[in-house]
Amino acid sequence: ALQYADSGENPILLRVDTKAGHGHGKPTSKRIEEYADIYAFLFKVLNIEPVYPEGIAVGLSNGTK
């Protein structure tokens, strides 16, 4: 049903957290993961190449670029 809910060509970011609860607040680690997903999505959609300061080691957790 979700496939047909949007007829536009713009990309959609859909996050599913199977371990989310109904408690109060969100742990810092979950907030970091959420923002990382949002920024990665925006960088990809807007074709932005991230710029890293010199001396900073950068690695991708899933081994892809």
| Residue 61, token pair as written in the block | 């957790």
Residue 34: predicted pLDDT: 92
| Residue 27, token pair as written in the block | 């742990």
Sequence ranges of the domains in the chain: 1-15+25-65
| Residue 52, token pair as written in the block | 């890293």
d(CA 29, CA 16): 15
d(CA 11, CA 45): 8
Residue 6: C-alpha distances to residues 35, 45, 64 (Å):
24, 17, 28
Q: Per residue of the chain (65 residues), what is the pLDDT tens digit? A: 677 777 788 888 988 888 777 777 888 988 999 999 999 999 999 999 888 888 877 766 654 54
Model pTM score: 0.66
Residue 47: predicted pLDDT: 95
Residue 65: predicted pLDDT: 47
d(CA 22, CA 49): 36
Residue 41: predicted pLDDT: 95
